[in-house]
Structures are given as C-alpha cells and as structure tokens.
Copies of this chain bind each other. A is one copy, B any other.
Amino acid sequence: MARAHWGCCPWLVLLCACAWGHPKPADLGGQDVRNCSTNPPYLPVTVVNTTVSLTALRQQMQTQNLSAYIIPDTDAHMNEYIGQHDERRAWITGFTGSAGTAVVTMKKAAVWTDSRYWTQAERQMDCNWELHKEVGTTPIVTWLLTEIPAGGCVGFDPFLLSIDTWESYNLALQGSNRQLVSITTNLVDLVWGSERPPVPNQPIYALQEAFTGSTWQEKVSGVRSQMQKHQKAPTAVLLSALEETAWLFNLRASDIPYNPFFYSYTLLTDSSIRLFANKSRFSSEILSYLNSSCTGPMCVQIEDYSQVRDSIQAYALGDVRIWIGTSYTMYGIYEVIPKEKLVTDTYSPVMMTKAVKNSKEQALLKASHVRDAVAVIRYLVWLEKNVPKGTVDEFSGAELVDKFRGEEQFSSGPSFETISASGLNAALAHYSPTKELNRKLSSDEMYLLDSGGQYWDGTTDITRTIHWGTPSAFQKEAYTRVLIGNIDLSRLIFPAATSGRMVEAFARRALWDAGLNYGHGTGHGIGNFLCVHEWPVGFQSNNIAMAKGMFTSIEPGYYKDGEFGIRLEDVALVVEAKTKYPGSYLTFEVVSFVPYDRNLIDVSLLSPEHLQYLNRYYQTIREKVGPELQRRQLLEEFKWLQQHTEPLAARAPDTASWASMLVVSTLAILIWSV
C-alpha cells in the first residue's frame, strides 16, 4: 500500500509525503476551518481548547528552566503507527494528523506539518497554535532563534528524538547560544496525568512453531555469530525497534495498531539475553519458553521496560562495545553509551537478517498470499454484483473486505487501514473513508482498493483498480501504462546486490513516455506477520541492495487530480534469474494472486513480451488460487477467476504502430525468404 508511505517509522512518512508532490488535501468544505484573524476568532466545533493544558505545560517548562519544549509525533521505537498513550502531540495540540511536530515557548505554540494535513490542522487547532506549512528541523530552529532569547534552553524527551533528528537540531543550534536539554521525564505526560490512556497490557504470546522460520535460539545464535565475525568485535547488540524483538523471540502482541508488537527492547550480549518489557505480561508458559529462570547465555532474563536506559548505562561501564542500528535507536539510549563503546550501522544485524526470508518463511508468506487472494476475489465478485445496484459505499466496502479477510485461516486483522476509494477520492494520497464521510461506488467510476491482512504466516498488501462500466480511452491508457510499469519491473533481470533505486524507473518508463508519472515510491519490504512496510527493503534511496529471499511490493500508479486514481500493487519475492550466460542475476516472482481488470487493459499498448508475461502470470494464479476456491466450494468465485484469467490476445493496435508492425513483418518475410 502506498498510504503512510513505505516504512515502519514516521520519518519515512515525512519523506514520502514530499514525494507525493503536495497533493491537495481532501476538500471537505472550507467553512469548517478556524479563523484567528477575526475578533473574536472563529472556531469550528471540531477545535480542541488547549488553553488549560498549555498553561500547565508552561508551568512544567518553567520548573525545568526551559524557554521552549519540542513535542515530536513519534514514539520511543519509531513505530509507523503509534499507540494512543503516545499521541502526545495530538493531545496537546488537538491536531490528530499522523505527521507534525509541535513546539511550545513561554509565549507561543506552533505546529509544523506537510500539505496533507494543513486543512485538518486548521480544523482541529485553536488559536493558541500557529500553523507552519513546512517540515524538517531547519524551519523549526529558524523560528526558535527568533522566539527564544540568547542563552535559552530547548527541552526535549530524548526517547522521542532519533539520533539523526537530534543531530540535526544540535547542528542547527550550534553557535547560536541556545542549548538543547535532554529531559527524560516527558513534560506532556506530567500534564496529561490520569487522562492519559494506559499502556497496553495484553498477554504476549509465542508463535506456533509452524509459523516461524527458525527458533529464537537459532536466531540468537545467528546474531551472536555475526557479532563474532564483525571486525569491531561488538560484545552486545541493542534492539530498539519493536519488530526486532518480536522477530528475534517469535513473540507477538497487539500494542500497536496493525502491527502485532509489544513495547520492548533487547540487549543481546555474548553471554546473556536481556529482554526489557512488562514482566507481568508473560505467562508461565512463555517464561518457560524463554528459559527465563536461568542466567546462562541461552536464558532470556526479563527486565522491566522502564529500566532499559539505566541498564544500558550500567552495562556500558564495562569493557564492552554495543552494536546499534542508528535508524531505530533514540537519542535517549544513544546518549548514555560512551561514543568509543558504540558500534554503529544504519540497521542492526537483526534488521538485516530479517530482510532475507529463509525457505520456510518464504513458503509461509506465499501461503498467506493465496488465502489473501481468496478474500480479495470474494470481495471483487461481490462488488461486480452489487455495485450496479448502487448499494455499496467506500466504507461498507472496506468493512466487507476486512470481514472476508477475517474469515481466512490464521487471520489476525488488517495490516493497515483499508484504502477504499472511488472516483476522485482515489487521486488523494491520504484517503480512507469513514462511516460518516464516504462515496458511493458506481459503474461510472474507477474504484481503487489498497488493503492487506495480518496472518500468523504472513503479512499481505495488494492494490487493484477496477471499472465496472465503460472507462474512457484515457483511463484505459493510463491503467495499461501502469500495468506495463508493473510488468516491466516485475520481469526485470538485474545483477545480485543491485539497489532498488537503480531499477525503480522501469516501473515508470511507460508512463513517462506519454508525459505521465506518479509521486510516490515504487515499493517496500513486507514481513512474516510483522510490518506491512518492512524496512529496509524497497526501491527508495535509503533501502538496502536487493538479495535473494527478500520480499517487496511493486506498485506503480497514476493519479488524475479531481478525477480518478490508479495503483496496481503486487508483492514479489526476489529470486535467482536464469540467464543465457552464467552470472549472479536476480528477478522477481510475484506472489500476489489476483487478476488485473480486463476492462481497463488496452491490449494494443502491450508488446508480445508483456502479453506473454501476463498470460503466464494468469496461468500461475489459476494454479495457485483455483484449487483453493474449489476446495472451499467457492464455485462462483472459481468461475469468475477462470473468466478473468483467460489468456489475453494481441488486438488491433492503433493505425501508426499497426502500420509499422506490418512493415517490419513484411520486410522480415521478404528478407527471410531471400
């Protein structure tokens, strides 16, 4: 899916928001935004009064002798989705958008966010808050320098700034006679008090062995072996991302929306395993599964989540070297480890290992995609019958596809909020329908469905775009060019260890040819019952090189503002390619098994190679999904699948290319017959 763009962490959201090229926010009527220039100001009912909480926050700031306090939009683990108790920026400002930083001084308060959220912010914030239509630390620091006096202190919660973000603030403030001050007690939390939602506390459970690629003991040994081989000989690996700890121990919970994680850190040393989490959440079975009653190198000692900083600091007193992935480590951990005891990489060895699925993990992920295809096909068959009746809307549609997924074996809910968008809504980067606000599906409009599921064996993510009536020639052309892009990238053969960014333009070439393009990335990694946007695999500049065993989405699109949106997204496994001459080459094997919309394909734009690829893919869909539909007596769906995967044949191209094909064929015949 292309919504909260590519990655399990908010900084990626920011990055991708820019890539969308500032699409217009959903226009839900301009009268419902605040107007702070009238006297008294006009405030719509959607606005939250923040005067009391701001006053209380400023009292806390005064106690700490701060001139300003930064309130980021992230949590302590760079999660893509954050829990309610971590929504400090939303609570203090009223503005609930997923991206945006707030800064409070003794006199002013301001929010910086990107274009997706400008209208929403004007609708939710009262006049205590300035809205700055910019992102990044530079504009914030520029503003701070004019707002706070020389010698002033800027406070922040070190668990809410990544190392990079902290460095960027620090660099910008250097030589300015203003100082960054790390305060481990979050000041917003102090003000929020008992109103703050509780931290999740459901039991943490272990995956059944059938759903894991390796035991946690095997994974621990693997990481230790990487530590030993590392030239800087780290004595420990520190894991800060929740997916790292979840993956390492094959444990799951549901602390985070759409992500089956639990709040935790892991310090894996050469002689011990220390898991920081809420101990009361582990049953005796899980404690025994983790060998938590012993203290040897293969025993998991559970320590309290809140102890992580002190424990790391204490460990760092020894003759140790702690290996971290800087992308997911917060300044609050980083600042307690002496620099000479740090071994840094962009991503931790767990992040790098997890990116390459072993054969069992591959089989699991593929199996989840077959069942996921059944759910999506059930929905498409249902839509085909019901859309013409005019009884389906985007929201009820989204609910239905979520329900169909929920009925699949091993289902554990959607992997992100379903994007169900009809007509012009599909052109919005950031659209999901609500019960109150949605659009009816119609045979006169295109419909875009971007959705996925969490299953015990795998996470899925697929986008299909459909038209049940008569699409315009332009819609068919745009759709077909998007499809060509999907095919051209999917069938590309490229050298092992090529970076995604080197090849993602193959998904765009057919669009570029006609002067069309899309403003988002081309794909992202995906996990085994982990993140739907699993970093660091993908096609962006900060993704790592492609390797056999990785899974990535491939999802070109095209968006016509105010009219329609197209995206065709599949998940693909990186596999070895057989080339004519020997070499280490890779290609993709698509594991999403839902046919494209024949009604929208202009066959005359496809080359013989595209047709051949497409028909082979359709044959694979039949082989994978057909038996599953039959086994489950979904005969109507089976019939639909057969119809929609009939081999496509070349049709009359437009006159010009037809003429050129005739010329070439004739010439070929003439020369051949000589």
Number of copies: 2
B residues less than 8 Å from A583 (CB atoms): 515-517
The 3 closest A-B pairs by CB, nearest first: A515-B579, A515-B581, A515-B583
Please name 15 further chain A to chain B contacts, defined as beta carbons within 8 Å, in addition to the given A514-B581, A611-B664, sorted by A numbering: A498-B505, A503-B505, A506-B509, A512-B579, A512-B585, A514-B579, A515-B579, A608-B660, A608-B661, A608-B664, A649-B667, A651-B671, A651-B672, A653-B668, A658-B668
* Stretch in A34-42, A271-279, A489-497, A617-625 with 4+ CB within 8 Å of B: A489-497
What 0/1 readout, one digit per residue, does chain A (639-670) give for beta carbons within 8 Å of chain B? 00000000001111100001011101101100
- Alpha-carbon gap, A608 to B651, bound state (A): 18
- Give min CB distance, A231 to chain B, whole Å: 10
B residues less than 8 Å from A495 (CB atoms): 512, 517
Q: Which residues of A, 596-634, contact B by the 8 Å Cβ criterion?
A: 608, 611-612
A515 near B580 (CB under 8 angstroms)? yes
Confirm or deny: A24 has a beta carbon within 8 angstroms of a beta carbon on chain B: no
Confirm or deny: A502 has a beta carbon within 8 angstroms of a beta carbon on chain B: yes
- Give min CB distance, A491 to chain B, whole Å: 10
Q: A residues near B, CB below 8 A?
A: 175, 339-340, 492-495, 498, 501-506, 509, 512-517, 579-583, 585, 608, 611-612, 649-653, 658, 660-662, 664-665, 667-668, 671-672
Partner pick for A505 among B494, B516, B662, CB 8 A cutoff: B494
- Alpha-carbon gap, A503 to B509, bound state (A): 9
- Give min CB distance, A383 to chain B, whole Å: 29
Chain B's closest residue to A674 (CB) is B652
- Give min CB distance, A508 to chain B, whole Å: 8
Given A175-B339, A505-B502, the answer on whether A514 and B580 have CB atoms closer than 8 Å is yes
Between-chain CB contacts (< 8 Å), 18 pairs: A494-B505, A495-B512, A501-B501, A502-B504, A512-B579, A514-B581, A515-B579, A515-B582, A612-B660, A649-B671, A650-B664, A650-B668, A651-B668, A651-B672, A652-B668, A652-B672, A658-B668, A665-B665
B residues less than 8 Å from A651 (CB atoms): 668, 671-672
B residues less than 8 Å from A516 (CB atoms): 581, 583
B512 near A494 (CB under 8 angstroms)? yes
- Alpha-carbon gap, A513 to B494, bound state (A): 7
B residues less than 8 Å from A514 (CB atoms): 579-581
- Alpha-carbon gap, A653 to B651, bound state (A): 22
- Alpha-carbon gap, A651 to B512, bound state (A): 30
B residues less than 8 Å from A662 (CB atoms): 665
- Give min CB distance, A339 to chain B, whole Å: 7
Chain B's closest residue to A502 (CB) is B505
B residues less than 8 Å from A582 (CB atoms): 515
Chain B's closest residue to A673 (CB) is B652
B residues less than 8 Å from A498 (CB atoms): 505
A665 near B671 (CB under 8 angstroms)? no
Partner pick for A340 among B175, B502, B509, B515, CB 8 A cutoff: B175
Chain B's closest residue to A660 (CB) is B608
- Give min CB distance, A423 to chain B, whole Å: 20
- Alpha-carbon gap, A504 to B668, bound state (A): 32
- Give min CB distance, A296 to chain B, whole Å: 34
- Alpha-carbon gap, A293 to B550, bound state (A): 68
- Alpha-carbon gap, A506 to B509, bound state (A): 10
- Alpha-carbon gap, A612 to B657, bound state (A): 12
B residues less than 8 Å from A580 (CB atoms): 514-515
- Alpha-carbon gap, A653 to B608, bound state (A): 14
- Alpha-carbon gap, A672 to B652, bound state (A): 5
B505 near A585 (CB under 8 angstroms)? no
- Alpha-carbon gap, A509 to B493, bound state (A): 8
Chain B's closest residue to A586 (CB) is B512
- Give min CB distance, A608 to chain B, whole Å: 5
- Give min CB distance, A441 to chain B, whole Å: 27
Chain B's closest residue to A503 (CB) is B505
- Give min CB distance, A597 to chain B, whole Å: 20
- Alpha-carbon gap, A419 to B395, bound state (A): 66
B513 near A579 (CB under 8 angstroms)? yes
B residues less than 8 Å from A671 (CB atoms): 649-652
Which of A506, A652, A671 has most B Cβ within 10 Å? A652
Partner pick for A501 among B502, B608, B649, B668, CB 8 A cutoff: B502
- Give min CB distance, A662 to chain B, whole Å: 8
- Alpha-carbon gap, A227 to B499, bound state (A): 37
B residues less than 8 Å from A175 (CB atoms): 339-340
